[in-house]
Structure 1
Amino acid sequence: MGRRTLAVLLGFLVLGGYLGAASLVYRGLIVVVGGFDPLALVAALVGGTLLSGYLSYRLGPAGLLRSLDARPLERDRAPGLHRRIDALAGSMDLESPSVFVASLGAPNALAMGSSRRGSLVLDVGLFRLLSADELTAILAHELAHLENDDGLVRALASASVQTLLGVALVVAAPLALALTGIGYGLALITGRRDNLALRVRAALGAGVGLAVFAVTALARARSRRREFAADDRAAAVTGDPLALARALRRIERASQPRIGPFRVPIEREEGPLERVLSTHPATDERVERLAERATGRRVRVE
């Protein structure tokens, strides 16, 4: 009887504590939101989101360059590479970007910034891995991202997702606290671990998780579409889709794990969830599209 009485008392304490916290959070939200005109509040959220995304877009590249320990590749050190980039930029709607080299851990190339103030980061391994035509195709692909200002759209999309999720979590916080207190309190009072409040709280958590997954999946789907668009633009500018296909295949193979001096080929099929959350389409799919663009039919690019 003593344990049961203690559990009941503890249950009421938990119930009261959580409901009190939920009430405080709710009242705080009312005070904050009530002090603003609804349209002004929405405008402030939209403006803050746009400002956050723009600052990330403008200031992020400098931080990323520092984190990668990227070094400028001046014109006098690689005049041929710069002439190739200038020629590609001249045929596209952008200015020639700054060029950096870094050890990225795997053959890769990154584009950051805008069509007017862009930067390219090239892994040092690309120069010995790819032929001249293949490197030109990779450069054209990255320049296509700059031409379309994909970095700005990506930064704004990321900021929008964070704002929406933040608003959803803040709005749901009082309800989540109340359900948690009611659920745990009733569990202690009745001695039963399962009750309606806990089931509703679990459903609320699942709903928030599903919303996060859906928004993330939409953002990743857009990222994959932009990769296809950059492939198509590079193929159009260079007139050699197969060069980009070969470059993608070489990079994929060079990125495979190594045992001693040997590469270990890993052939596995991505699962549905992995494909949905991937920022890049599968290399096989990209290569097949490029090969079909070049020949009008599907061919295998080794």
Structure 2
Amino acid sequence: MNQFRTVALLGLLSALFITLSYWLIGGPTGAVIGVGLAALTNLGSWYYSDRIALAAYRAQPVSRAQAPGLYRMVQRLSDRANLPMPAIYVVPTPAANAFATGRDPQHAAVAVTQGIINLLPDDELEAVIAHELSHVYNRDTLTQAVAATIAGAISFLAQMASYSLWFGGMSQDDDSPNPLGILLTVTLAPIAATVIQLGISRTREFEADAGAAQLTGNPRALANALRRLERSAQQLPMPGNPAFEPLLITNALPRNTLSHFFSTHPSTEARIQRLLKLEQERVGLRMPAFSRLR
């Protein structure tokens, strides 16, 4: 069901982009241009998303000699999940968080902050890394990069149309779109794109939590880690570009009830409750790696 919802939301996001192009550039030509721009942005996000995300957080690659314990943990979980060993990065910040990136499992990277290494005991850190490897396995890193890129392109196109509208760049002949319709479009399209993008992100987080529980056989470890990470974020938020927040395991900044609708992640309490429910249903969790996700 979550996979279907993700595909549906991505399709809706692409349709919104093409519709915006149709309205603002003009008719079928605008729709064709929209399809071309969507393809180009998707290609760019597919190829460069990992480099951009790692650079945004100033993540530094670490060798096996520099972090032997971390390497052993990632290697053990990767083997269990039948995944290639990802590149490992450490983000030099005391804030506690983690993320995965890369266009596919063969080009994946897992990044953890120095803060999360210092904060979590081994079983909880292992659960966090299992969550990130679940994102890699399900190719969520690519899905989220594509969603973010299309949403950004929609916002950019709407901004350009807004400038044209206010400064008289739009043609005023009978075939031109209604200025009021254009104004509503450029106002509402970016909001709709953001809501859709965040819906995709929240859906994939629940799926990755379930994958981590299956991979480690210890749902409570991830539940405990999420509690610690939320408390830590209230005291020491994760610095960095907000555009990359959907990649993180928890929100970079603490959220209140009113801001939840625009949150990149489900509420921590909702995630914990699902994990504890999985713990009660442990029969079937200890299975060959990710077999239930295939």
Contact 1:49/1:156 (8 A) holds in 2: no
Contact 2:53/2:101 (8 A) holds in 1: no
The aligned amino acid for 1:137 is: A
Contact 2:162/2:183 (8 A) holds in 1: no
Contact 1:54/1:155 (8 A) holds in 2: no
Which has the higher mean CA deviation after the structures are superposed, 78-87 or 242-251?
A: 78-87
* Secondary structure of 2:111's aligned partner: strand
The aligned amino acid for 2:64 is: R
Is 1:251–2:229 an aligned residue pair? yes
Is 1:140–2:130 an aligned residue pair? yes
Distance verdict in 2 for CA 1:296–1:115, change over 3 Å: same
Whole-angstrom distance in 2 between the partners of 1:170 and 1:66:
28
Q: What value does the CA root-mean-square deviation take over the aligned residues? A: 3.5
Instruction: Please give the per-residue CA displacement for 1:213-257, whole angstroms capped at 9, x wherever unaligned.
Output: 122111101100101110011001111000000011111122222
Structure 2: segments with no counterpart, 5+ residues: 1-20, 173-177, 237-253, 283-294
Whole-angstrom distance in 2 between the partners of 1:108 and 1:46:
36
Structure 1: segments with no counterpart, 5+ residues: 1-28, 183-199, 259-267, 298-302
1:10-49 correspondence runs (5 A):
38=28, 42-49=31-38
Whole-angstrom distance in 2 between the partners of 1:147 and 1:218:
22
Quote the sequence identity (%): 34
- The structure that has the greater radius of gyration is 1
Aligned to 1:300: none
Whole-angstrom distance in 2 between the partners of 1:50 and 1:119:
24
Whole-angstrom distance in 2 between the partners of 1:233 and 1:87:
15
Of 237, 259, 263 in structure 1, the residue corresponding to residue 215 of structure 2 is 237
1:1-302 correspondence runs (5 A):
38=28, 42-113=31-102, 114-165=104-155, 205-257=183-235, 270-272=256-258, 274-295=259-280
Distance verdict in 2 for CA 1:93–1:47, change over 3 Å: farther
Instruction: Please give the per-residue CA displacement for 1:17-51, whole angstroms capped at 9, x wherever unaligned.
Output: xxxxxxxxxxxx9xxx79xx947x64553233223
* Secondary structure of 1:255's aligned partner: helix
How many corresponding residue pairs?
236
Whole-angstrom distance in 1 between the partners of 2:107 and 2:261:
32
How far apart are 1:164 and its partner, in Å?
A: 4.3
Whole-angstrom distance in 2 between the partners of 1:78 and 1:179:
57
How far apart are 1:104 and its partner, in Å?
A: 3.2
